[in-house]
Structure 1
Amino acid sequence: MPQGRGALVVLAVLAGLVVAPPAHAAAVTVSNGTQFTDTTGAAVHAHGGGMIKVGDHYYWFGENRNADNTFRAVSVYRSTDLRTWEFRNNVLTQSSAAELNVANIERPKVVYNSSTGQFVMWMHKENGSDYGEARAAVATSATVDGNYTYRGSFRPLGHMSRDITLFRDDDGTGYMISAARENADLHVYRLTPDYLGVNSLVHTLWPGSYREAPAMFKRGGTYFLLTSGATGWNPNQQKYATASSVAGSWTSPVDVGDSTAYGSQTAHVVPVQGSQTTSYLYLGDRWAGAWGGRVNDSQYVWLPLRFPSATSLAMSWTPQVGIDTATGVVTGVGSGSAYETFVARHSGKCADIPSSSRADGTAVKQYGCNGGANQQWQLQDAGGGHHRIIARHSGKCLDVGDSSTADGAAVAQRTCNGGSNQQWQLQDTGGGHHRITARHSGKCLDVTSGSTADGAVIKQHSCNGGGNQQWTRRAA
């Protein structure tokens, strides 16, 4: 081939590469209070996790537990749109090191060290049977989703270390934040230049305040630190504080969200930077331990953060979140409350799981409203205008037994399975009341015989417009 012609061909090819439009993820909607699934349909196990963006992909690391809640792996998934998750690897497992054979690894977080070319993971390490070790652990990899080399565990500068997070500042300085002194204190450490160890203790924040589940991020010139109270698996009031520098003075913590963070606990805050804006997305865990379940049964709560001013933070409930990673726009979708009570119109009494039972097959009855979690329900989108109705105290679904279509068929709580007999449509009947109809049968949730007594059984029955088939939805 003549040299001049070859050069033209090369230039043409290069020109084609230059003008080829970049691939952008489409806008998506993520449903809250659910167990996410990956591209194979398997549950995403990234509990207590953190997220890092590399190229066009967001990589989500988190806890993956055995059936007895001990450590199985740190799993990583990737996505371009924050909804479609591809499983990539179990980057750290029980076989990665001898001391991980019987252990608990919690809250893994990863940052990239540009000077060493290493992805560095920090995590909270325990012995698998109690919380007596209270150690930090470190692992590294040359690739974000490769097998991480375990570097060991220790107590930073001799201090206990439990719930943990990482933050990389704009100048490359690394920080580790962890709960210390039986969770009474929150320590902020400056890391060594390679991020593998602790250089110094920068702050002991709010001694004696019992804060955990830290998540730090920077917006503009303001640093935000979001934390949870220490109440075990049960959710509580999240608070935030601000500072003009990590090493500077931090404000006193201020409440954000409702009194239970909408049934969740802080895991991470991820910036979603796009062509129009940078949004900040709260990633929370709705721990199954609150209803006696396993860590791997836990659900996720994601909510957009709002900033009324440069130094203030707000978070509200929406049942879904709209995410456009191309533009950076993240918005709440829909309305309603994180949990609701259903009050029968004819009796003024609440749909109730008696004695707060967590057992499959426990019949739903009406009782005087008392604010208990066994009278609180989460609506989870099931598509086509239908919802799963999930008991807060047990995490189980409102279910018509054996998928019966008969009048009088029992309605009870059962483990959620995706069946149409666990899907319900709420139809407005006016005056703030609703019919609740089963998808598989088209029949109404009904208080038997219109009884007004405590303990009256709730079943399905052909819809007839009666007050015993109309329900008022009240925010819990």
Structure 2
Amino acid sequence: MLRRVCLLLSAVLVCVSGLLAIGAPAQAASVTVTNATQFTDTTGAVVHAHGGGVLKVGTYYYWFGENRNPDNSFKYVSVYRSTDLKTWEFRNNVLTQSSAAELATANIERPKVIYNSTTGKYVMWMHKELATDYTQARVAVAVSDTVDGTYTYLGSFRPLGITSRDMTLYKDTDGSAYLVSSANENADLDIFKLTADYTGVASLVANPWPGTYREAPALFKRGSVYFMLTSGNSGWKPNQQRYATATSLAGPWTAMTDVGNDTAYGSQTAFVLPVQGTAGTSYLYMGDRWGNSIGGTVEDSQYVWLPLTFPTNTTMDLPWYPQIAVDTAAGTVTGVGGGPYYNLVTRHSGRCVDVSDNSAADSAVVLQYDCNSGLNQQWRLTDAGSGYVQVVAEHSGKCLDVANASTADGAYVNQYKCTTGTNQQWLLQDQGNGYYHLVARHSGKCLDVKDASTANGARLIQWTCGTGTNQQFQQRTA
């Protein structure tokens, strides 16, 4: 049957004609997805789509990913499909050890698929190594006439002779396609333009962050701005994710800046999926909590999916929620739980405790500012024992911290990755009329607006507790 197929690529709906065997899907509805879990398919089997990517064809989202042997070597690239991003139907092992001789002794990682409307081919790129070591540092390519059919393996190579490890694909609004590759022994992150048929590399477009050692790239476009989201190099151990922006893939790109907490909530970037619907487009962070980082293997890995939020056209937040609500028809992805979240409002000025410039960086300045809806003014209180709490910023997952654990009056209070330090533990002491002192456990001193200033931008410090209203804060539900 001839059907019209719509592909959601780079937040742009592209429609093509082709021969596809796609059954009538159930109507998608709002669903809740629980984080830091293994997902299961419609048969109850564990979904193995690690390091993967998603391609939308018609009303279905097709999720491709790694499915490995117990020793972590390659077994399959598996594909699942869903209309609601929760109910996953296993479709096929589209690439196997028997697909080509060199795959019998291979590691295959981070498979991504895009559609070429000129050739009518679905094109898969992946990172290829030997099963025994990481000396090959190649990409590999496979193609298929159908999205979830058997893929024909075309071989592996180094793009323009450059070593390649973690990688992703991106199809732009003009139909051009790009490979992003962790290159030169992971020191660089190269952007290559693909050939017209998407099966080869045509040119090196940019190497914007030489020597910065970034991996796990995810590239997407929001409006006129490209976002590159990456992790650092730390083996299986999760680390600080960072991102950069540009209005052209050739650059100039910004420097990488922190997003989320210091471990991406125990995960690593796999893909960013635009979810487009009647209410607009949301952007879903798809991360892997690798089994190797929690005492297992890749097949024990869990998934961490979170809504990306955008305070401005060129800035991004990665907040934590234990669950997300997804409505693919509306195009909405929202966080569920994790709170309640509060604005901390100073009594003397009526302004809110705020992380400056919406920064997710360690040591970012904490100050007072006009209250608004920003996640950098929303805080949750987590139990630290003996009546003390950590005060955690929603936008970054980082903690209110007395710099350098100083016990001195005037020591700055900043944002910093959450630790067990008592300089991040606060006691709320009732001061009447709904206001509280926040007393630092390590020093016994109070959170204080410096010099009792009422101005926007006044710094937060610690000071000997007194009766000043610049040391009194109200919790208002955000």
1:297 equivalent to 2:305? Answer: no
Letter in 2 for 1:196: T
Note the 1:434-445 alignment, pairs <5 A. none
Q: Distance in 1 between matches of 2:247 and 2:387?
A: 56
1:37 is matched with: 40
1:315 is matched with: 318
Q: Distance in 1 between matches of 2:26 and 2:266?
A: 36
- Check the 8 A contact 2:26/2:83 in 1, yes or no: no
Tell me how far 1:371 sits from its aligned partner. 5.2
Note the 1:13-412 alignment, pairs <5 A. 24-336=27-339, 345=386
Q: Distance in 2 between matches of 1:76 and 1:134?
A: 24
Q: Distance in 2 between matches of 1:210 and 1:341?
A: 33
Q: Distance in 2 between matches of 1:323 and 1:108?
A: 24
* Counterpart secondary structure, 1:175: strand
Tell me how far 1:291 sits from its aligned partner. 2.6
Letter in 2 for 1:206: W
Q: Distance in 2 between matches of 1:84 and 1:176?
A: 30
Tell me how far 1:22 sits from its aligned partner. 9.4
- Check the 8 A contact 1:273/1:279 in 2, yes or no: yes
* Counterpart secondary structure, 2:56: strand
Q: Distance in 2 between matches of 1:89 and 1:144?
A: 10
Q: CA RMSD in A?
A: 2.2
- In the TM superposition, what whole-angstrom CA distance separates every residue of 1:75-129 from its partner, at most 9, and x where no partner exists? 0000000000000000000000000001100000000000100000000000111
- Check the 8 A contact 2:208/2:251 in 1, yes or no: no
* Counterpart secondary structure, 2:235: coil
Letter in 2 for 1:109: K
- In the TM superposition, what whole-angstrom CA distance separates every residue of 1:248-298 from its partner, at most 9, and x where no partner exists? 311111111011111100000000000111000000000111133110100
Q: Distance in 2 between matches of 1:342 and 1:129?
A: 45
Q: Distance in 2 between matches of 1:279 and 1:85?
A: 20
* Counterpart secondary structure, 1:202: strand
Tell me how far 1:39 sits from its aligned partner. 0.4
* Counterpart secondary structure, 1:133: coil
Tell me how far 1:335 sits from its aligned partner. 1.1
Letter in 1 for 2:145: A
Letter in 2 for 1:58: Y
Q: Distance in 1 between matches of 2:25 and 2:60?
A: 13
- Check the 8 A contact 2:25/2:59 in 1, yes or no: no
* Counterpart secondary structure, 1:162: strand
CA distance 1:153–1:288, shift in 2 (3 Å): same
Q: Distance in 2 between matches of 1:73 and 1:336?
A: 39
Structure 2 gaps, min length 5: 1-23, 341-380, 390-417, 421-478
* Counterpart secondary structure, 2:131: coil
Letter in 1 for 2:108: I
2:14 is matched with: none
Letter in 1 for 2:285: Y
Tell me how far 1:138 sits from its aligned partner. 0.1
CA distance 1:139–1:22, shift in 2 (3 Å): closer
* Counterpart secondary structure, 2:164: coil
CA distance 1:258–1:96, shift in 2 (3 Å): same
CA distance 1:128–1:342, shift in 2 (3 Å): farther
What is the total number of aligned residue pairs between the two structures? 330
* Counterpart secondary structure, 1:101: helix
- Check the 8 A contact 2:217/2:230 in 1, yes or no: yes
* Counterpart secondary structure, 2:207: strand
CA distance 1:38–1:64, shift in 2 (3 Å): same
Q: Distance in 1 between matches of 2:250 and 2:292?
A: 35
TM-score (norm 1): 0.67
Structure 1 gaps, min length 5: 1-20, 349-369, 373-476
- Check the 8 A contact 1:288/1:294 in 2, yes or no: yes
- In the TM superposition, what whole-angstrom CA distance separates every residue of 1:165-209 from its partner, at most 9, and x where no partner exists? 000000000000010111010110000000000000111121110
* Counterpart secondary structure, 2:296: coil
Tell me how far 1:345 sits from its aligned partner. 4.7
- In the TM superposition, what whole-angstrom CA distance separates every residue of 1:369-394 from its partner, at most 9, and x where no partner exists? x958xxxxxxxxxxxxxxxxxxxxxx
- Check the 8 A contact 2:190/2:207 in 1, yes or no: yes
TM-score (norm 2): 0.67
- Check the 8 A contact 2:208/2:252 in 1, yes or no: no
Q: Distance in 2 between matches of 1:187 and 1:135?
A: 14
- Check the 8 A contact 1:319/1:336 in 2, yes or no: no
Letter in 2 for 1:98: A
Q: Distance in 1 between matches of 2:124 and 2:106?
A: 17
1:15 is matched with: none
Q: Distance in 1 between matches of 2:251 and 2:234?
A: 29
Q: Distance in 2 between matches of 1:87 and 1:70?
A: 21
Q: Distance in 2 between matches of 1:309 and 1:247?
A: 22
Letter in 2 for 1:35: Q
CA distance 1:341–1:94, shift in 2 (3 Å): farther
